[in-house]
Structure 1
Amino acid sequence: MTSSSSSTSKAAETAKTATTALTQPASETSPAVSSFLHHPYTRVALPFLNGGLAGMAATTCIQPIDMVKVRLQLAGEGGKSAGPRATPISVTREIIAAGKFMDLYTGLSAGLLRQAVYTTARLGFFDTFMGALTTRAEQKGEKIGFAGRATAGLSAGGLAALIGNPADLALIRMQSDGLKAKEARANYTSVIDALRRISRSEGVYALWKGASPTVVRAMALNFGQLAFFSEAKSQLKTRTDWGLRTQTLAASALAGFFASFFSLPFDFVKTRLQKQTRAPDGSLPYKGMGHCFGTVAKEEGLLRFYRGFGTYYVRIAPHA
């Protein structure tokens, strides 16, 4: 009887242990995994790694949308458009008709490299800055506010954009290459090929062409995306009884809208500056960010900066 009770007790204990192992994270059941995940260096690296992988996954999904967005921004450049105004549907049809469906994924290697560098850095920096600001606020017996989140978002976006500009430039060059006459196309085979040929023909510093609007665009994007996401999620948590997933999706939708609104004009100028190449006489269509804003406003109208807002929002929202 005693032996039977002992066996039953051991079986129950074994079953409980197995259930715990299946339901709890590995970090809570495995000392080795827990030690690795909670190591100071790992804690610092994880936000960067998670951010980069998330950005690369999102880019793989929305690359065709990004391709259409870039073509919309370049359509009718100089106010000399012929025929009806370009729309997301007409641009998509044109790309597919001119080649094949996979042409919508042109520049994917550059997009992935950009996310590996830019998104890894911006989300990692944002998490790091937020951690530092939160610690400082707690020491003062306060809670971090919207201003702190905005500061962290602006700083993280600007620094990351400067680091990732070469990959961003390569992405725009690859996506706009199909707009040129066949004999004038560069026909880049990969992001590495694009970076190598651009630096060889135009100089290494050319890889940072359009860096100013890229940095401003990233700061505006992060201000709208990260600051508003963090603020919206905080407000939804205290003001609603929604589930965590619903709160996250709602906060992402709001953050995506504000990120698109604040950053689209700068994204437009960035695309125009990074696409341009020197004419035979050495001149460029735009001398800089200010000149591009002025020229486009004069020749194409102020609303040109927001054309394709819906496409841009759909492109931004998955990243949020």
Structure 2
Amino acid sequence: MPASRVVENAKQTSESVLSDASSAMKSAAENPKQATTTFLHTPFMRAALPFINGGIAGMTATTVIQPVDMIKVRLQLAGEGVKTGPKPTPVSVFRDIVASGKVLDLYTGLSAGLLRQAVYTTARLGFFDTFMKTLTSTAESKGTKVGFKERAGAGLAAGGLAAMVGNPADLALIRMQSDGLKPAAQRENYKSVIDALLRISKNEGVLRLWAGCYPTVVRAMALNFGQLAFFSEAKNQLKGTSMSGRSQTLTASAIAGFFASFFSLPFDFVKTRLQKQTRAPDGSMPYRGMFDCFKKVAREEGLLRFYRGFGTYYVRIAPHAMVTLIVADYLGFITK
């Protein structure tokens, strides 16, 4: 092909591309709503939206609930290794935090909490939504409906996968929240979640970022089983009632929050203990792993210690679940 023809074809192609782009921009300027709708319905955005919506929903909920999470962690770490140790209450913990510093100390670790939600909730809600769409499509092709067993399986898988990805941010959050319990001379005084992650990696090794990963995964699976599976099931059961859509969502969220708290609190307790621990001067660790932690706490502190602060945990989990699921539901609605 002559060089002149190649140049001419290239010129025509570039003019065509520019013309299409110009038309698209003109159309978007004239009708921005339609342009947005078209963009949201591209294959890439349809696949990404469950993850994006999940992340935004989780970060919104964490910002609201962070002070309660701070109190929950302090309750779990109080009286470690002593069966008849101190028995703090949410009120006494709140009072101590405020008295020793300032109200903003309740938001210690917020950057880690937001990063965790950006990773963990983005993944778990995204995976759950993706799994449910696949299961629904498969069930419809067979002329059946998705049952509780399938919802539970989707929740367990989504929670486990997301927890593995989000463990470093979760560990940084626990370290930042528990730092204030140490004597002033031994505190790390992390400036941010990035500072915490970098210093833990440098001083203890990169693999230390996945400390407590096993109970974190089990806890996430238990929490997701309680939250997502029961939320989805409760919403399905409430569809035939006279309740409004918003009331159905709120009621289903409250139910899901209770079951999520009940199933996951013992694993959350062990996860907190494992992620908080650091090596003693002789190189030993208080707990060798999840089962060792369960055994030592049960023997030294009693079985009921695993459910210490259940009320606080529920107050942390239920509103978080409600805010997360409501925001995710709303985002899903406006991005249909």
Q: Structure 2-normalised TM-score?
A: 0.85
- Residue-by-residue CA offset, 1:184-206 (whole Å, 9 max, x unaligned): 00000000000000000000000
How far apart are residue 319 of structure 1 and its match?
2.6
Matches within 5 A, 1:250-261: 250-261=251-262
* CA shift for structure 1 position 318: 2.2
**In 2: Cα distance, 1:297 partner to 1:198 partner:** 29
Q: CA deviation at 1:294?
A: 0.5
Quote the offset at 1:29 in angstroms. Answer: 8.3
Separation (CA, whole Å) in 1 of partners of 2:100 and 2:225: 38
Aligned partner of 1:32 in structure 2 is 35
Deviations 1:202-237 (A, max 9, x none): 000000000000000000000000000000000011
Report the secondary structure of 1:318's partner residue.
helix
Q: 2:214 aligns with which of 208, 212, 215?
A: 212
Contact 2:65 2:320 in 1 (8 A): no
> Which whole-Å CA distance do the structure 2 matches of 1:32 and 1:66 have between them?
41
Residue from 43, 47, 50 that aligns with 1:44: 47
Which whole-Å deviations, capped at 9, do the CAs of 1:18-45 have from their partners, x for residues lacking one? xxxxxxxxxx983312211111111111
Per-residue Cα deviation, 1:135-168 (whole angstroms, up to 9, x for no partner): 1101100000000100100000000000000000
1:152-171 matches, cutoff 5 A: 152-171=154-173
Tell me, in whole angstroms, the C-alpha distance in 2 between the residues paired with 1:200 and 1:163: 20
Alpha-carbon separation, structure 1, partners of 2:67 and 2:33: 42
Take 1:279 and 1:30, find their aligned partners in 2: how far apart are those partners? 60
**Letter of the 1:112 counterpart:** L
Residue pair 1:75, 1:81 contacting (<8 A) in 2 also: no
Code of the residue aligned with 2:248 in structure 1: it is Q
Deviations 1:257-314 (CA, angstroms, capped at 9, x unpaired): 0000000000000000000000000000000000000000001110110110111011
- Do the aligned residues in 2 keep the contact of 1:125 with 1:156 (CA within 8 Å)? yes
Q: How is 1:186-225 mapped onto 2 (pairs within 5 angstroms)?
A: 186-225=188-227
Please state how far the C-alpha of 1:80 moved relative to its aligned partner: 6.2
Within 1, Cα distance between the matches of 2:72 and 2:173?
12
2:289 matched residue in structure 1: 288
What one-letter code is carried by the residue in structure 2 that aligns with 1:131? K
Rounded Cα–Cα distance in structure 2 between residues aligned with 1:105 and 1:89: 16
Any idea what SS the aligned residue of 1:283 has? coil
- Alignment: residue pair count: 291
Q: For residue 236 of structure 2, what is the aligned residue in structure 1? A: 234
Structure 2 residue matching 1:317: 3-state secondary structure: helix
Query: Paired residue for 2:72?
Result: 69
Q: RMSD over aligned Cα, in angstroms?
A: 1.2
Given that 2:151 and 2:229 are in contact with CA atoms closer than 8 Å, whether structure 1 keeps it comes out as yes
Q: Contact (CA 8 Å) 2:84, 2:301: kept in 1 or not?
A: no
Work out the CA distance in 1 between the residues paired with 2:64 and 2:276.
Answer: 23
Could you list the structure 1 runs, at least 4 aligned residues long, displaced by more than 6 angstroms after superposition.
none
**What is the rounded CA distance, in whole Å, between the counterparts of 2:70 and 2:243 in structure 1?**
35
How far apart, in 2, do the equivalents of 1:142 and 1:78 lie?
A: 52
Pick 1 or 2: higher relative contact order, CA cutoff 8 A, min separation 6. 2
Q: 5+ residue gaps in structure 2?
A: 1-30, 322-336
Q: In structure 2, how many angstroms separate the alpha carbons of the residues matched to 1:55 and 1:31? A: 28
Aligned to 1:125: 127
TM-score, normalised to structure 1, is 0.89
- Determine the C-alpha separation between the residues in 1 that align with 2:84 and 2:99: 20
Question: Cα gap change, 1:80/1:145 in structure 2, threshold over 3 Å: closer, same or farther?
Answer: closer
| Residues 81 and 202 (structure 1), Cα distance of their counterparts in 2 relative to 1, 3 Å cut | farther
CA distance in 2, matches of 1:165, 1:80: 29
Of 52, 56, 61, which aligns to 2:59? 56
Equivalence for 2:300: 299
Distance 1:246 1:29 in 2: 33
Amino acid at match of 1:65: V
Q: CA deviation at 1:85?
A: 1.2
Equivalent runs, 1:7-26 vs 2, <5 Å: none
Q: Which moved more, 1:196-205 or 1:28-37?
A: 28-37
CA distance in 2, matches of 1:31, 1:280: 64
